Amino acid sequence: MESVNLSGKVVVITGASSGIGKAIAKYLASQGVIVSLGARRMDKLIELQDQITIEGGKAAFFLTDVTQKESVDALIKHTLEIFGKVDVIINNAGVMLLSKLEELRYEEWDAMISTNLKGMLYGIGAALPYFKARKEGHFINISSLSGHRVDPTSAVYSATKYAVRALSEGLRQEVKLYNIRSTIISPGIIQSELTQAITDAYSKEMVKGMESFAISADAVAHAVAYAISQPQDVDISEMIIRPTAQPY
């Protein structure tokens, strides 16, 4: 069973301006993949597109807020207009705002639900009609190790990431008739900007203690490439990517 050549595939990536999304975009582009970059920070998108282009890759970007359905729809439409197809969508955009429930950080709860859960649903909704009509496509949804376990301060974040896994599995079961694949990738502690958004002092200190063994986001990028490169009749349903040193 030979792997599929990635060159020429068109991959849409949300949350592409930093961290895991950026690493995925750069690595896939280096393998000949055409990447369509969605994120909220225009300056970061321009910078990433320039880096990819200078290194011989091909990329486009579209300012995207995954909490807004119309914005995600527009990202897919923009990609189709420029590149003529979409082979894969990677629902990567996410926020991790850890705190104990007793802190009652309602705005942060809403932000995680809107970005991590609804943002992924909007990505699915934007690409699914096209994939169904084409009888081919691949969803890659980024969950987390926190989608497999819950810790103090992670209750809401974990809830959204458990939901990502549940929705992805339901999606897989529903779309196999259309020759569509669905992959869940659950990273452990990865070097990224995700922890910088934490505002709760206790949670921030707790996470800081684990960052010493964080691994490069490139590890997730390689896992994504592996899933995409499988023959059409092979569906890599789920992967956990974590540091060897991570105890849980």
Strand partners, 138: 88, 181
Give all domains of the chain, ordered by start, each with its CATH number.
10-237 (3.40.50.720)
Would you state the structure tokens that stand for residue 76, as one six-digit string?
């897919």
Q: Which residues pair with 229 in a beta bridge?
A: none
| 8 A C-beta contact, residue 48 and residue 59 | yes
- Rounded CA-CA distance 170/151 in Å is 25
Confirm if 101 and 155 have CB atoms less than 8 A apart.
yes
Q: Kindly list the catalytic residues.
A: 157
Q: In this structure, which amino acid lies at residue 62?
A: F
Whether the per-residue pLDDT at 135 is higher than 70: the answer is yes
What are the DSSP calls for 31-92, one per residue? TT-EEEEEES-HHHHHHHHHHHHHTT-EEEEEE--TTSHHHHHHHHHHHHHHHS---EEEE-
User: How far separated are the first and last CA of the chain, in Å rounded?
Assistant: 33
Band of pLDDT at residue 210, cut at 50, 70 and 90:
low
Phi and psi (nearest 5°) for 161?
-80, -30
The Cα–Cα gap between 134 and 151 comes to: 42
What mean pLDDT comes out for the span 108-125? 98
DSSP class of residue 195? G
Tokens of 239: 């992967």
- Tell me how far apart the alpha carbons of residues 20 and 200 are, in angstroms, rounded to a whole number: 23
Residue 1 has pLDDT above 50, yes or no: no
Residue 163: strand, helix, or coil:
helix
Mean pLDDT of 125-149: 97
Q: Can you say whether the dihedral through the CA atoms of 72, 187, 113, 192 is positive or negative?
A: negative
Q: Which residue has the tokens 């993949």?
A: 33
Instruction: Classify the C-alpha dihedral 228-90-154-199 as positive or negative.
Output: positive
pLDDT at residue number 31: 97
* pLDDT in the model for residue 214: 87
For 189, which DSSP code? S
pTM equals 0.93
